[in-house]
Amino acid sequence: MNENPVVIIGAGPAGLAAGYELISRNICPVILERDGRVGGIARTESYKDFYFDIGGHRFFTKNEEINQLWDELLGDDFLSVNRLSRIFYKGKYFNYPLRPANALFNLGLVESLLIFISYCRARLSPSPEENSFEEWISNRFGERLYRTFFKTYTEKVWGLPCSEIRADWAAQRIKGLSLLVAVSNALFGGQQSKSLIEQFSYPKFGPGMMWKSFMDRIVAGNGEVLLNAEVSSIQHDTKMITAVEYSSGNVTSKLNPSHCISSMPISKLVKLFKPQPPAEILSAANQLSYRAFIIVVLIIDTPALFPDQWLYVHSPAVKVGRIQNFKNWSRFMVPDQSKTSIGMEYFCNENDQTWNMQDNELVEMAKGEMVVLGLGEKTQVIDSYVVRQSHAYPVYDSEYKKSLQVIRNYLENFSNLQTIGRSGMHRYNNMDHSMQTGSLAAKNCSGESHDLWAVNEEKSYLEEDRGIREIPAVPEKVLIGAFARIDKLAFATAVGTICGLLVLGATLWIISRGGDVLNSHLRLLAQYFIGYTVTVKGGFIAFGYSFFWGFLFAWLFAYLRNLFLAVYIYNIKRRAELLSLRDFFDNF
């Protein structure tokens, strides 16, 4: 083992991406993973040859570097899956994103009309503040649609009223298309946004295949991946991490890292520091919270249950928040095609009532709720399995931003420490963003300088902007100019002036020539312009008339053109924003 290795804490997607990048640079890392398998929350568990994903992880990204990495590691074991996910509400299935005909049929005419009125009210008189998730969604879709399709599910996930969930979480998770991209796609086809994709890739036997391939490559490159190795302390001299102590069984070992990259929960990280951080840092760490997650796998004696990969359950009558159908992700996840396995997902807090339920109690609850939802009968369930996952989702409550900044400021003092991934940054990143933070952290160990906190935040790091902004064959400035609003007054004044000057100029030209060839024709204007004669005075009278009518028609033209484009662009933008909401649910 290298005497001063790069130590990576956590072998989830971010940690493994960091390890793989280091191996490609001939740096041999040591990865410490407290679990018995790699993958973190994106791992694949198995029970009697039934495979299941902890939460459901689609492999799709606009980041070409990550995309190539996935293809390189899995190749032919990557399946292309047609996506189907719906909302289950009041015993009916709603397409997501919502489709007018489907929603109208399921909700009924009266409820649909009330939702539309609520939407119009929100657009005409939005809330002046957007501090909470409730305000953010209601301003965009109306309070009634928010209560129908967002409130119950979101509060199940977070265990908080939507009025206490910060709006910046919604803004981060629900990234609509830019207006330019939306218009370009509508006109020229262009590159689709992430939210419009109807297919995604998925490993044949679940995401665990991917992470196992990462681990094998790292080990083959002389890196080390130590499983069942839990970090017990992180020693420092206030400026650098000097040692990472970990235990494996009854054996405690120590590493002296040249660099330390951590994907463990950032609040837990600082609590392991020796000497302890100042009291205000520990207090800030205690303020950060994570939502836990339980998946109850039911093996059902039927070849098919529903066609979706997953359902969002918006009924307050049951505790289950989402239901995965693993066979619909990949048929290889189920060894016997006459059977189906589903994952009933429950969101909770660690050590709350749901978390502390016995496995048999959880199974009975899941079976009962399956019956309540009309998905099957208890007698069809032939086996079951339960998995608990702590620190699954970083909570964006009213205190998190301030507390996180306090910790970040403290950790900046350590020149050889970087935090990565969802838990390591207390940021609700997608899998590709988490992996990107890992890769960039590894590059920083080689002397590069990347801002990990800019990933999924600043434009230069957004997946929509890394090698995929190929939409327009038309230059951006041309599109902007073409769809710019016409100033009605300026346009009308210019057209009116030109019309007036043309008639005045024609009149003065004839007078200056002293001829009568065109005189009789121009005099016909007197039928429309009262008082006009082919004289200097008549020319100015014609100028006034021509200016007036030119101004009027140009103003009307500009008004109608602006109105038409405003409606057109508004519809494109609203459709794009609604489609992008699908990612809000998909990436829980």
At residue 574 the predicted structure's pLDDT band, cuts being 50, 70 and 90, is: low
pLDDT-derived band of residue 149, with 50, 70 and 90 as boundaries?
A: confident
The answer to whether residues 348 and 362 belong to one domain is yes
Angle of CA points 46, 52, 53, to nearest 5°: 125
Is 102 a domain residue? Answer: no
Tell me, yes or no, whether 364 and 308 share the same domain: yes
Q: What is the pTM of this model?
A: 0.76
Domain membership flag for residue 459: no
Q: Return the bridge partners of 201, or none.
A: 59, 80
Indicate whether 234 and 366 sit together in one domain: no
Domain tally, the chain: 3
Is 207 a member of any domain? yes
C-alpha radius of gyration, the chain, whole number: 31
φ, ψ (nearest 5 deg) of residue 236: -150, 170
Start-to-end CA distance of the chain, whole Å, equals: 38
Q: How far is CA 456 from CA 436, 466, 581, in A?
A: 9, 11, 16
Please, which residues bridge with residue 45 across strands?
52
Q: CATH code at 390?
A: 3.90.660.20
CB-CB contact of 302 with 380 (8 Å): yes
517 against 434, higher pLDDT: 434
* Virtual torsion, Cα 238, 241, 247, 252, nearest 10 deg: -80
Q: Are residues 311 and 353 in the same domain?
A: yes
Domain boundary among 361, 394, 427: 394
312 in the same domain as 265: no
Please, how many CA atoms are within 13 Å of residue 221, restricted to the half-sphere of its CB? 21
Find the CATH number of the domain harbouring 257: 3.50.50.60
Confidence band of 257 (pLDDT split at 50, 70, 90): very high
Are 224 and 301 members of one domain?
Answer: no
pLDDT at 449 over 90: yes
Nearest to 78 by CA among 90, 86, 68: 68
Is 302 in the same domain as 313?
A: yes
Say if residue 523 is in the same domain as residue 552: yes
The pair phi, psi for residue 563, each rounded to 5°, is -65, -45
Domain match, 511 and 438 both: no
Count of Cβ atoms closer than 10 Å to residue 83 Cβ: 17
- DSSP letters, 486-517, are P-HHHHHHHHHHHHHHHHHHHHHHHHHHT--T
| 494/559 same-domain check | yes
Residue 378 DSSP label = G
Higher-scoring residue by pLDDT: 536, 243: 243
Region 15-35: mean pLDDT is: 96
Indicate the pLDDT class of residue 195, thresholds 50, 70 and 90. Answer: very low
The reply to whether 128 falls in a domain is no
Q: Does a structural domain hold residue 565?
A: yes
Q: Give phi and psi for 89, each to the nearest 5.
A: -140, 125
* Domain-embedded: residue 556: yes
> Given the structure tokens 């015993």, which residue do they identify?
91
Question: Do 175 and 580 meet the contact criterion of CB atoms below 8 Å apart?
Answer: yes
What's residue 258's pLDDT? Answer: 96
507 lies in the same domain as 563: yes
More confident residue, 256 or 89: 256
Residues 6+ apart with CB under 8 A from 195: 177, 576, 579, 580, 581, 582, 583
490-516 pLDDT per residue, tens? 888 998 899 888 888 888 877 777 655
- Mark whether 386 and 415 lie in a shared domain: no
Domain residues for the domain of 299 are: 290-394
In a domain, 359, yes or no: yes
Q: Helix, strand or coil for residue 14?
A: helix
